[in-house]
Each structure stands twice: as structure tokens, then as C-alpha cells.
Amino acid sequence: MRVYHSVLKLRLLMGMQYRAAAIAGVATQFFWGFIIIMVFQAFYENAVTTPPISLKEIITYIWLQQAFLVFVTIWFRDNELFDLITSGNIAYELCRPCELYGFWYAKLLAQRLSSALLRCFPILIVAFFLPKPYDMTLPPSFTAFILFISSLILGLFLLVAVSMFMYISVFLTMSPTGSLLIFSVLGEFFAGLIIPVPLMPEWLQKIAYVLPFRWTADFPFRVYSGHIPQNDAIIGIVIQLAYILCLVWLGRLALNNILKKVVVQGG
Amino acid sequence: MSLYFKYLKILFKSQMQYRASFLLLMTGQFFIPFSVFAGLYFLFERFGQIRGWDFFEVALCFAVIHMAFAISECFARGFDMFSGMVVRGEFDRVLVRPRSTFIQVLGSKFEFTRFGRLLQSAVVLAWALGSLPLQWSPAKILTLILMITSGVLIFTGIFILQATMCFWTVQGLEVANIFTDGGREMAQYPLNIYQKWVARFFTYVIPFGTVNYLPLMYLLGKNNGNDLLYMLIPALGSLFILPCVLFWQLGVRHYRSTGS
Amino acid sequence: MIQLQGINKSYKVAKRQTGLKQAAKALFYREHTTIEALKDVTFEITQGEIVGYIGPNGAGKSTTIKIMSGILVPDTGTCTIMGYTPWKDRAAYVKNIGVVFGHRSQLWWDVPVIDSFELLKDIYKIPQQDYQTTKNLLIETLELQEIINSPVRQLSLGQRMRCEIAASLLHSPKILFLDEPTIGLDAVSKIAVRQFIKTINKEKGVTIILTTHDMNDIEALADRVILIGKGSLLYDGQLGELKKQYATQKTITADYQKNSTPLQIPGTQTLSWTPERAIITVDTDVTSTSEVITQLSNIVELKDVAIEAQPIEDIIIQLYKEYQI
């Protein structure tokens, strides 16, 4: 826990130092947000049938996506860990007196959280005060808000658990390129980053609902706007929990197994 | 120019040293815009059209922009990756060689993996052209080529601007993504689907509109007269690169007085 | 050949604060300080010289090198090298110089060294015939035959440095700037590099300006040293003069028959003393070594005496201390 705390503090400090980078990042995300919203606006204008999610809900969805981008993008990665694995310096890491899975998990979690903390507030605040129709709306009820916060935090835990598999796979491939590619292309698509999950064709939605990716971002964002009703949200949170437990257990098992082999091979 | 090809040769040789990773990255470059295109396809499946443009018309626009982007990212990568060159102090080396800084930076890096993206957009282009009821004429073929060339020059111009910023600060360069990645994502739809201010900005300041909207109207027969103007407008847009190159020269001068 | 007259250069640097609060403050406002990197630097170098340019980190060495190689424009002052002003006629001027940055490579990392050479031939527009002769000569004298066809990433540091030096000499420059050419090299490679630098200076009359932290480089190569500290020139003259002027200490190690009284000789300092051995330093401004030895032999029965001059390293440290740099 202390490790986690100091990594978080260090990251925040570093983020502050690079003021221009922070401002530039926020500006970029605003631009993206605007562009995507305008595209949807144009699509919705002459829609023949009523789409399964309203434009207002889409706009909120997109601003949340921009604010919590690091909760969606798997490619937000720690190259240090990749280097550690591919260079064989992992041996030093094994000398540390704590369990590797937990340590890495905490590190990755801290990185994403600090990055999100630096960026989400300016984006969210401005997004609320934008002129209509670009403005973000408040959640329909306080309960929805609480459900959103819980599902967002669980989503982050889940995403880190998923991304751990990317690092674990590098032990086998010894090059992060391939794993990164698969995880980011598939992961981001099924997390609703390219088009929101409700706008996908039925058959694709079915696939998205089975995979863990959409539970990290798509789910909490729609809980916020009330597109997912509260009862379903509670069920969803249980599913998130189940996913986290399952993936952490599997990841830990896989990592420990691989580490055993690494030790036997002598690095 | 012959020096440029020499650079091309040596860097291609370098990249071929890592064949496996090269192929993987190229595959990635094929699939990343592919998923974006898939998203576009699914949106059209649901909505049918966007402000009067149908799927294949937008696909044509998509292909032209992505093609231009892939080419400039491959050949002007030296400017795109310039911040690293400044940080590592390698720009000093450029200055002690008796050639223009422009060609040396241009030749410092090529990203051949972008052929994956190029291939992807070529497939989309072929599909769109095959499915659109177009009446081909030499003028239209010329326009299409002009569109792509001009797109390449505009993206390269933005890369140069981004690189020039490095002479003042290497922080916050991310903002240039608005115009590179952002410009690409935006310009994959015809410009008139956006609000007026966006369309104006991307026509008169950064002239994507001269690549993806005006000549596209001509190609699809949507313009009212003035064929020649619509046809040649991409050439006008490609003039964008000139002030960028001037700005680059200014940046080099600044660097040499501060040496940061 | 090289003339610098009253060169001044200052930089503006942003102050960086520590702590979360300060960092947050710096988001909106940042203080700047001006650092004077060079203050009124003036010197002249004639053709065929090897000049050691020394000084602690941040003294202004690389700023001077950058100005002389046309990378940087000074605030005031003039610099004329071979009739050119480096920062004005950059492209024409740099054809005449070679630059080796010790910690940065100019070779293309993933291709054989020879490919890099070929490309440099095109960059410098070297005529084919000249290129062939120079290349062969360099390969021979630097013993590159074995490594010329390997990619740079597979070479050892010493091998790479030899290739770096060859790469900077392909276009037969008249002046060679060497910025820490022996950094990180092992003893054998260092000697090989020094040997080569000497050879090209003697045989081709190449003027060499060398910065280094290794005083052995200076001793082996440079007749003349220029010392810079905090942006100002502190010393410019022959290495021998510098030694004579500042090496006023000699160390004497004396072994003798058992003697229980400590030594007391005027003008000396005892560094260590045992009944059988003493190490003393002699200040040659006050007394001479022979005088001290005579006195020693009066007090004790000498078995063996060794005299050592102060190493150049110590002189430089002493100089740095004296100038408080």
C-alpha cells in the first residue's frame, strides 16, 4: 500500500511539472470530443429509425470517455516493465520482498489513476459549461451517480487486471509489439472507443457483452447517463466483481507459473 | 534529391534487420485504421447516410485521407519524431554537416511500417471506386492524384510545424496531434458535416477542405459548374507547406542562438 | 587559423521547483535566471596545433566548441576560422571541419560501418577517388578491416570510437574537434585513439581541439592547454609552463634504518611516518628536493629514496580550487 501511495504521489508531481503537456493533452481531448460529437450529430440528424441511445446520452458518453481515456486505452503502457521482461533484468525484481503480481498491479493502477486525476477534472468541468448541445449533463439521480462511481472504480481495477495479461504474454513472445497490437485493436473496439457499444450491430454487441473490455468503460459511462437502469447496473457491478476476481486469480496463476520457469532457466 | 534516396536506402536496410517486428508493426498499421473503418461501416449500416453522403462516398474520402496520412507518416517521419532528435542532441550533428537541415531531418527517419496503413486505404479506395457510379475521365484521375499529393503535403507541413515547436519547447507537443491524428480523423468525413467554424478552420487555416471536400464534390459530380476550379483546388491547398518550411528556417535560427 | 575575439554567450534557464505546491505554482508562473556561459573568451590557434581545452563540467567547454563548429551563434564577439565566420557560412564552412562528440554516435546503428561511410561520402560530396584513398588510409591506420562490415550495434565501445573518428575524417577536414573522445574507453583503446590523433596531426597537419576530463589525454597529446572555468578563460599556455608554475610539490618516500624520532625538516610536510619509512612532501618554492635529501641523510641512515612529481590531475584540481570553480 505504501508503494502504491508513493508511486501515485511521484506520478502526480511529475505530471504537474509538465504543465504544457497537461494543457496540451486536455486541449487535444477536447478537440477529439468535439469532432466525434459533431459526427454523431450529423448521423443523428436524418436518422430514419430511432437509435437505441439518444444523442444527449452519446454526448455525455463521449465526454466521459475523453475525461477517463486512460481507463479505456490499453496501450497506455509502462515501457519500463516491458524492458524489464525482455532484457532479463526481471531477476532483480524477483529479489524484492513482495509478490510481483501485487506490486505490478499497484504500480499500473497508480499510473492510470494519477494520469486520470490530472486530466479528468478540467475536462469534466469545462464539458459541463459548454453551450448546448455539446454540454454534458448531470446523472439523472444521486443513486445513478453512486453506481457510476463504483462501476468506474471497479472498471479501472478490471482494466489493470486485463492489461496484466499483456505484460505476462511478453514473457512468452519477448516482444511487446504483437501483444500490444492485439490488445489495443480488439480491446478498444470492444470497449466502445471507436463506436459506442449500443450503436454496434446486434451480433457484434453480443460479442462485446461476453468480453471483459466493455465492463471497463462502456458500462460505467452508460450507468452515468441512466441508459442502463439501476437494477441492471447493480447486476453489472456484480459481474464486474466476478470478472476482477477471476482475472486476477488467473493472472496471478499465470505469472507465478511463468516466473517459476524463468527461475529454472536461469533468466 | 539523390541524397534523399541514399537515406531511404540505408534506413530501409536498418529496418530490415528486425524483420519479425517490422512485419508485426505493418500488420498493426493495417488493422488499426481497419477497426476505425469497421466502425464507420457499422454506423452507416445503422444510419444509412450522413448529411446526404452515402457510405461509398465517405469511404472514398476516408481512403484519400488515410492514404495521404500513411505516405507522409512514412516519408516525413523525421519531422514527426524530431523532438527525440533535439532531446538527444543529435540536431547538433545535423548542423555540422554541409547540407540543408531540411533534407537531413527528412532523411533521418522513415517509417516503412506505414505501408500497412497504405495498403489498407488502397483496398478501401478500390472498393469505393468500384462501387461508386463514376464516369471516369483523365481530369478526374488527375484530380484524385492531386488530392492525395496535396494531402501528403498538408500532413507533412503539420509535421514540420510540430517539429519546429521543439526548438522552443519539447513539452506539450501532444497538441500537434489535434492537427495530425485529429486532422486525419476529422477529414475522413467530408468537411461539410461539421459545424461552420470547424469547416472554415480546416479550409482556410489548415486546408484539409481543399483535399477532402471541394474536389470530392467534383469527382462525384456534385458541384455546380466551375469544374476547373474544383479540380485544381488541391494544388492550392498544397501551398500550405511553404509557410511551414519558412517557419522551420526561423526555428533553426532560434536554435542556433539559444542552443537549448 | 582560428581566432576568437571577445566571445560572450548567455542562456536563460527556467528555475525548477521541488514539491507539489511549487509545482502547482509553476503551472502558471515560472522564474527565469540568466546564466553567462561564456565571458569575453579570446584566443588564437595556429595550424597544426593540438590544443587541450579543459575545465570542469558546465564551465563552457561545449558552448565554445558549438560556437566554433557553427552550431551556435554567440551574443557578441567575433570568430574567424579559416576565413569563415562559422555561424554565417555554415554549409561552406563545415566542409572543412570534423567533429566527434564522444557520447553521441554519427553512425547509423543497424547497418555495417561501411554503409555509413558511403552515405557520408554523399553527404559531403566527396569525389570517388579521394574517398577511396582516404577510406583505405583510415582503415589501415585505425585497423578497421575486421569491423568495417559489422553493424555498429555489435561493436565494442573502443571499436565504435575508432569508426567514429574515421567517419569524421572521411572528408579530410583541416580542423578536428574532439569532444571527450576517450570517454568510457578501456586503457588499450585509449592508447590506440591517442596514437592515431597524434599521427593525423603530424602527418596531415590537422589542427586538433580536444576537450576531455582525462588528464592523461592532455599529457599524451596536447602541447598547449586552455583552461576555462565559469565561462572565463583562466589559463592559456604550454602544458610544461603550467606544470612548472603550479607543480611546486614533490613527494619523497624514504626508507631507512630504525629511527624513533619523527622528522622535522623546514619546507616539508610529513604525510606519514613509521620508524622505518616516511612520506613527505616538499614545497619547491621554499626548498629544493636535493636539500631535503641531504638533510634526511643527516638524520637517518637512508636505505632507499623515491621522488615523485605531482601528477597533472592534482595540478588541475589545485587550479580548480584556486579559482574556486
The closest of C76, C83, C89 to C41, measured between CA atoms, is C76
Identity of the amino acid at A137: T
Domain count for chain A: 1
Which chain C residue lies closest to B257 (C-alpha atoms)? C73
Query: Of A35, A43, A188, which is closest to B186 when you measure between CB atoms?
Result: A35
Region for B125 from its dihedrals, namely left if φ exceeds 0, alpha if ψ lies in -120 to 50, beta otherwise: alpha
Tell me which residue in B27, B34, B172 faces A21 most closely, judged by beta carbons. Answer: B172
B259/C109 touch (CB, cutoff 8 Å), yes or no:
no
Q: What is the mean pLDDT of residues C211-230?
A: 88
Q: Give the least confident one: A158-162, C118-122, C238-242, C313-317.
A: C313-317
- Identify the pLDDT of residue C28: 56
Chain B interface disruption, residue of A26, A30, A31, A62, most B CBs within 10 A:
A31
**With contacts defined as CB-CB under 8 Å, which chain C residues touch B18?**
110
Mean pLDDT along residues C238-256:
82
Domain locations in chain C as residue ranges: 47-75+83-243, 248-309
Q: Does ipTM exceed 0.85?
A: yes
Residue A205 is part of which domain span? 2-265
Cβ contacts of C170 within 8 Å, gap of 6 or more: C117, C120, C121, C124, C126, C131, C134, C135, C138
Contacts of C26 (CB under 8 A, 6+ apart): A16, A17, A19, C16, C17
Q: Where are the domains of chain B?
A: 2-258
Q: At what angle do helices A55-67 and A218-225 cross, to 10 degrees?
A: 130
Alpha-carbon B104 to chain mean position: 20
In this structure, the strands spanning C249-256 and C232-238 are: unpaired
Distance CA C119, CA C112 (A): 11
Q: In this predicted structure, what is the pLDDT of residue B155?
A: 95
For residue C18, the distance in angstroms to the closest alpha carbon of chain B comes to 18
Residue B47 to residue A34, Cβ atoms within 8 A? no
Beta bridge partners of C309: C250
Q: Is the pLDDT of residue A267 over 50?
A: no
Output the pLDDT for position A266. 47
Phi, psi at residue C147, to the nearest 5°? -105, -5
Res C325 pLDDT > 80: no
Q: Which of B27, B29, B37, B43 to mutate to test the interface with A (most CBs of A within 10 A)?
A: B43
The reported pLDDT for the residue numbered A15 is 64
Please give the grid coordinates belonging to residue C304.
632507499
Q: Summarize the confidence of residues C212-228 as an average pLDDT.
A: 88
Angle, in degrees to the nearest 10, between helices B19-47 and B115-131? 30
The answer, yes or no, to whether the previous bond of A176 is cis (omega within 30 of 0) is no
Angle at A119 between CA A116 and CA A120, to 5 degrees: 75
Q: Which residues pair with A14 in a beta bridge?
A: none
| Shortest alpha-carbon distance between residue C14 and chain A (Å) | 12
For chain B, the chains sharing at least 3 beta-carbon pairs closer than 8 angstroms are A, C
Q: How confident is the model over A10-69, as pLDDT tens digits?
A: 777 766 666 667 777 788 888 889 999 999 999 998 887 888 899 999 999 999 999 988
Chain A: residues touching C (Cβ < 8 Å)? 9, 12-13, 16-17, 19, 22
Separation in Å, CA of B18 to nearest CA in chain A? 11
Chain B's closest residue to A45, CA to CA, is B51
pLDDT digits (tens, 9 = 90+) for B99-121: 999 999 999 999 898 999 999 99
Instruction: For residues B45 and B39, give the distance between their C-alpha atoms in angstroms, rounded to a whole number.
Output: 10
Distance CA C280, CA C268 (A): 6
Is the CA virtual torsion B155, B156, B158, B163 positive or negative?
positive
- The beta strands (E) that lie in A46-139 are given as none
pLDDT for B2: 85
Report pLDDT digits (tens) over A69-116: 887 777 777 777 888 777 777 777 776 666 788 888 888 888 888 888
Q: Is the pLDDT of residue A163 over 80?
A: yes
**DSSP code of B53?**
B
Q: Which residues 77-116 of chain B have a CB within 8 Å of chain A? A: none
pLDDT tens, residue by residue, C101-160: 888 888 998 899 999 999 999 999 999 999 999 999 999 988 899 999 999 888 988 899
* C248-309 shares the fold of C47-75+83-243: no
With a cut of 90, say whether residue C31 has pLDDT above it. Answer: no
Instruction: Check if C26 contacts A (Cβ < 8 Å).
Output: yes
Q: How many whole angstroms separate alpha carbon B56 and alpha carbon B41? A: 10
Report the pLDDT value the prediction gives residue B39, as an integer from 0 to 100: 94
- CB under 8 Å to A218, separation ≥6 — which residues? A191, A192, A196, A197, A208
Handedness of CA B117, B118, B120, B125 (dihedral sign): positive
Rounded Cα distance, C119 and B8, in Å: 11
- Model confidence at C164, pLDDT cuts 50, 70, 90, reads very high
Residues with Cβ within 8 Å of residue B96, at least 6 apart in sequence: C69, C70, C71, C94, C97, C99
Q: Given an 8 Å threshold on Cβ–Cβ distance, is B172 in contact with A48?
A: no
Task: Give chain A positions within 8 Å (CB) of B87.
Answer: none
What per-residue confidence (pLDDT) applies to A121?
87
Chain C positions in Cβ-Cβ contact with residue B103 (cut-off 8 Å): none
CATH architecture type of domain C47-75+83-243: 3-Layer(aba) Sandwich (3.40)
Query: Is C94–B97 a contact, with Cβ atoms under 8 angstroms apart?
Result: yes
The closest CB to that of B96, out of C11, C97, C111, belongs to C97
pLDDT digit string (tens) for A191-217?
888 899 999 999 999 999 999 999 988
Q: C246 — phi, psi (to 5°)?
A: -105, -20
Q: Neighbours of C (≥3 Cβ pairs closer than 8 A)?
A: A, B
pLDDT value at residue A29: 85
Please report, for residues A100, A130, A262, B195, the alpha-carbon distance to residue A265 in angstroms, rounded to integers and kept in the order given. 18, 58, 5, 61
Strand-by-strand arrangement of the C207-211 sheet: C97-101, C175-179, C207-211, C50-54, C224-229, C232-238
Residue A185 in contact with partner chain B when CB distance is under 8 A: yes
Question: Which member of A19, A25, A46 has the closest CB to residue B49?
Answer: A46
pLDDT tops 80 at residue C310: no
Per the listing, cell 461552420 goes with B196
**Chain A with chain C: Cβ pairs closer than 8 A:** 15
Check if the beta carbon of residue C33 is closer than 8 Å to that of residue C57: no
Q: Look up residue A60 and give its three cell numbers.
A: 455525455
Residues of A in contact with B171 (CB under 8 A): 18-21, 24
Quick one: cell of A170? 511478453
Backbone region of residue C246 per phi and psi (left: phi > 0; alpha: psi in -120 to 50; beta: other values): alpha
**Chains with ≥3 CB–CB distances under 8 Å to A:** B, C
Q: What is the pLDDT along chain B (260 residues), one digit of tens a residue?
A: 789 999 999 999 988 888 888 888 888 889 888 999 999 999 999 998 999 899 999 999 999 999 999 999 999 999 988 988 888 888 999 999 999 999 999 999 998 989 999 999 999 999 999 999 888 888 899 999 999 999 999 999 999 999 999 898 777 677 788 888 889 999 999 999 998 988 999 999 999 999 988 999 999 888 877 888 888 899 999 999 999 999 999 999 999 887 65
Nearest to B98 among C71, C94, C106 (CB): C94
Instruction: Verify whether the Cβ–Cβ distance B10 to C73 is below 8 Å.
Output: no
Domain C248-309 classified CATH 3.90.1280? no
Chain C residues within 8 Å of chain B (Cβ atoms): 11-12, 63, 66, 69-73, 87, 90-92, 94-95, 97, 99, 101, 104, 106, 108-111, 115-116, 118-119, 122-125, 151
Beta bridge partners of C273: C278
Distance between alpha carbon B62 and the CA centroid of its chain, in Å? 12
- CB pair distance less than 8 Å for C71 and B14: no
Paired sense of beta strands C175-179 and C97-101, if any: parallel
